[in-house]
């Protein structure tokens, strides 16, 4: 039987993959011709991890909405389930390294996507201008990845930098 650390590492790896590519792990199946355009995530030390993935159509003619898929990993619940036999016995999966994920999706307008993308680009600019802060034990790790014109830019930062608050407020209003 696997030990706690090995089981947790496997579960965490699966959960992080699902947050990055939810369409492969039970989230909304993507229609043909859609690609990832923007991804934003928050990983809190003592709360759920969340990602917002925006998929845009490659087609430019006609109206094609932007697809938003929000994925939440119930990290604390999984930690309790894996580490506590009393809790694990109540679950069908018991000690199996299967992350507890929830998905929600919706279509958004191109204008709303452009608003989110504008906020995301402001965040990218600010993060590039600020030295990285040390990770706080009870803090939150934020990240953003903007994909455009066959290139991507990805940054991560820790709690204590308020410039992502406007983007987070917009994202929370969407799903």
Domain boundaries, the chain: 4-174
- The pTM of the full predicted model, rounded to 2 decimals, is 0.82
Residue 59: pLDDT band with limits 50, 70, 90: confident
Which residues 6+ apart lie within 8 Å of 142 measured at CB?
40, 41, 42, 43, 156, 157, 158, 159, 161, 164
The strand order across the sheet containing 49-57 reads 101-108, 66-73, 49-57, 34-44, 140-148, 151-158
User: Tokens at residue 162, please?
Assistant: 């308020």
Which residues does 23 contact at the CB level (< 8 Å), separation at least 6?
29, 30, 53, 55, 69
CATH of 4-174, one of 3.30.1560, 1.20.81, 3.30.1360, 3.30.70: 3.30.1560
pLDDT at 41: 92
Q: 42 and 74 in contact (C-beta within 8 Å)?
A: no
Name every residue whose Cβ is closer than 8 Å to that of residue 92 and which is 6 or more positions away in sequence: none
What are 105-141's pLDDT values in tens digits?
Answer: 899 998 999 988 888 888 888 777 765 555 555 577 8
* Mean pLDDT across 40-55: 90
pLDDT in tens, 16-45: 999 998 888 876 778 888 889 999 999 887
């Amino acid at each position: 039987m696997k030990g706690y650390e090995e089981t947790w590492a496997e579960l965490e790896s699966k959960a992080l993959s699902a947050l990055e590519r939810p369409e492969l792990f039970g989230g909304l199946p993507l229609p043909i011709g859609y690609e990832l355009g923007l991804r934003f995530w928050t990983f809190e030390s003592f709360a759920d991890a969340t990602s917002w993935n925006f998929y845009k159509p490659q087609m430019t003619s006609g109206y094609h909405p932007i697809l938003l898929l929000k994925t939440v990993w119930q990290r604390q619940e999984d930690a309790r389930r894996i580490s506590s036999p009393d809790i694990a016995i109540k679950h069908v999966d018991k000690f199996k390294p299967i992350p507890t994920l929830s998905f929600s999706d919706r279509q958004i307008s191109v204008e709303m996507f452009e608003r989110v993308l504008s906020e995301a680009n402001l965040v990218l600019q600010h993060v590039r201008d600020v030295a990285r802060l040390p990770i706080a034990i009870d803090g939150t790790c934020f990240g953003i990845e903007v994909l455009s014109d066959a290139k991507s830019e990805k940054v991560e930062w820790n709690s204590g930098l308020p410039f992502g608050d406007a983007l987070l407020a917009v994202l929370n209003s969407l799903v």
